[in-house]
Amino acid sequence: MSKNQLQYGHSGEDLAVQFLEGQGYRILARNYRTRMGEIDIVARHKDVIVFVEVKSRRSLAYGDPKWAITPAKQRKISMTALAYLKARGTTQTKARFDVVTVQPKDGRPHIEVIRNAFELAYP
């Protein structure tokens, strides 16, 4: 991945954080990593811990970004989320997986939140 792509991805995550905070989410972690994978944003929304995958696109040339979360990616996110919950002793807490897309529309970033985008996908 090029430096320019990484910068665009980080700016997409920044926009997603601002948007989520405006929707009442409290950000708990960004770029949470384990040996199993990475979660872009971990947040609390009301009484639910939310694991958020952010997908940013400069254009729709490669399709809608929400379709870029493959089953393999869902498994990695799920395993990482379970590790997060286990490390904090919060495995009994409600949790969900959201996807946030950031893409241009009429020259401005358009942000979409897909709540409960997928279920726990553990092998």
List the domain range (segments joined by +) for residue 16. 3-118
Is residue 10, in this structure, part of any structural domain at all?
yes
Average pLDDT score over residue span 50-68: 78
Confidence of residue 67 (pLDDT cuts 50, 70, 90): confident
Closest CA to 52 of 67, 39, 35, 68: 39
Contacts of 83 (CB under 8 A, 6+ apart): 34, 36
Sheet strand arrangement including 48-56: 26-34, 37-45, 48-56, 95-105, 108-118
* CATH number of the domain enclosing 30: 3.40.1350.10
Task: Please determine, for residue 7, whether its predicted confidence score (pLDDT) is greater than 60.
Answer: no
Give residue-wise pLDDT tens across range 31-57.
999 999 999 999 999 999 999 999 987
Is residue 123, in this structure, part of any structural domain at all?
no
Confidence of residue 118 (pLDDT cuts 50, 70, 90): very high
Rounded to two decimals, what is the model's pTM? 0.87
Closest CA to 47 of 81, 114, 94: 94
Mean pLDDT, the chain, whole residue set:
86
